[in-house]
Structure 1
Amino acid sequence: MRTLFIDCGISGIAGDMSLAAFTEIGADLSVISDKLHSVIKEDFSLSVEKVVKKGLSSSQLIIDTEEEKHSHRHYTNIKEAIEQSSLEEEEKLTALSMFETIAIAEAKIHNSTLEKVHFHEVGGVDSMIDIIGTAIAYHQLDIEKVITTPVAAGNGYIHMAHGLYPVPAPATLEILKNIPLHHTDVQGELTTPTGAAIIRTLTTEFGTIPAMKVNEIGYGAGAKDFDNHPNVVRFVLGES
Structure 2
Amino acid sequence: MGKTLYLDCSSGISGDMAVAAMLDLGADEKVLMDALHSLPVSGYEVKISRVSKSGIDACDFNVVLDEEHENHDHDMEYLHGHDHSHDAHDHNDFGHDDHHHDHDHGHDHGEDHHHGHEADHYHDHGHGEDHHHGHGHSHHHHEHRGLNEILGIISQGKMSDGAKKLASDIFTIIAQAEAKAHGLPQDQVHFHEVGAVDSIVDIVAFAVCFDNLDISRVIIPKLNEGVGTVRCQHGILPIPVPAVANIASAHHLPLHIMDVQGEFVTPTGAAIAAAIMTSQSLPETFAITRVGLGAGKRHYDRPSFVRAMLIEDEERKDQDRIWKLETDIDDCSGENLGFVMDLLFEAGARDVHYMPVFMKKNRPAYELCVICSQADIEKMEQIIFKHTTTIGIRRMLVERTVLPRSIMDVSTSLGTAAVKVCQIGGEKRFYPEYESVAAICRQENLPYSKVYQTIVRECEEKQS
Higher relative contact order (CA 8 A, sep 6+): 1
The answer to whether structure 1 residue 84 and structure 2 residue 146 are counterparts is no
Aligned to 1:175: 247
Query: What does 1:120-199 align with in structure 2 at a 5 Å threshold?
Result: 120-177=192-249, 178-199=252-273
1:45-101 deviations in whole A, cap 9, x for unaligned?
222222222222212212223122364322221111112333221111111000000
Kept in 1: contact 2:34–2:158 (CA 8 A) = no
Deviation at 1:209, TM superposition (A): 6.2
Aligned to 2:312: 239
SS at match of 2:178: helix
Kept in 1: contact 2:262–2:300 (CA 8 A) = no
Aligned in 2, Cα 1:30/1:193: closer, same or farther, shift over 3 Å? same
Distance 1:77 1:68 in 2: 21
What TM-score do the two structures reach when normalised by structure 1? Answer: 0.93
The structure 2 residue matched to 1:68, chosen from 63, 67, 70, is: 70
The structure 2 residue matched to 1:216, chosen from 290, 293, 296, is: 290
SS at match of 2:61: strand
Aligned in 2, Cα 1:79/1:210: closer, same or farther, shift over 3 Å? farther
Kept in 2: contact 1:5–1:209 (CA 8 A) = no
Aligned to 1:42: 42
The answer to whether structure 1 residue 5 and structure 2 residue 79 are counterparts is no
Distance 2:25 2:306 in 1: 12
The farther-off stretch of 107-116 and 135-144 is 107-116
Query: What does 1:50-61 align with in structure 2 at a 5 Å threshold?
Result: 50-61=50-61
Kept in 2: contact 1:121–1:161 (CA 8 A) = no
Query: What does 1:17-36 align with in structure 2 at a 5 Å threshold?
Result: 17-36=17-36
Kept in 2: contact 1:40–1:125 (CA 8 A) = no
Aligned to 1:101: 173
Distance 2:19 2:173 in 1: 18
Distance 2:229 2:295 in 1: 22
Deviation at 1:128, TM superposition (A): 0.9
User: What amino acid maps onto 1:4 in structure 2?
Assistant: L
RMSD: 1.7
1:17-49 deviations in whole A, cap 9, x for unaligned?
000011110012232122022224204322222
Q: How many residues align?
A: 238
1:119-177 deviations in whole A, cap 9, x for unaligned?
22332111111111111111101111100121112211111232211111100110011
Distance 2:154 2:193 in 1: 19
Aligned to 2:434: none
Structure 1: runs of 5 or more not aligned: none
Larger radius of gyration: 2
Aligned in 2, Cα 1:99/1:220: closer, same or farther, shift over 3 Å? same
Aligned to 2:303: 230
Deviation at 1:210, TM superposition (A): 5.8
Structure 2: runs of 5 or more not aligned: 72-96, 98-141, 314-464
Distance 1:147 1:40 in 2: 33
Kept in 2: contact 1:146–1:203 (CA 8 A) = yes
SS at match of 1:63: strand
Aligned in 2, Cα 1:209/1:134: closer, same or farther, shift over 3 Å? farther
Distance 2:271 2:151 in 1: 15
Kept in 2: contact 1:29–1:47 (CA 8 A) = no
Distance 1:210 1:56 in 2: 27
Aligned in 2, Cα 1:29/1:114: closer, same or farther, shift over 3 Å? same
Kept in 2: contact 1:75–1:119 (CA 8 A) = no
What TM-score do the two structures reach when normalised by structure 2? Answer: 0.49
Aligned in 2, Cα 1:186/1:90: closer, same or farther, shift over 3 Å? same
Distance 1:200 1:156 in 2: 23
SS at match of 2:172: helix
SS at match of 1:206: coil
SS at match of 1:183: strand
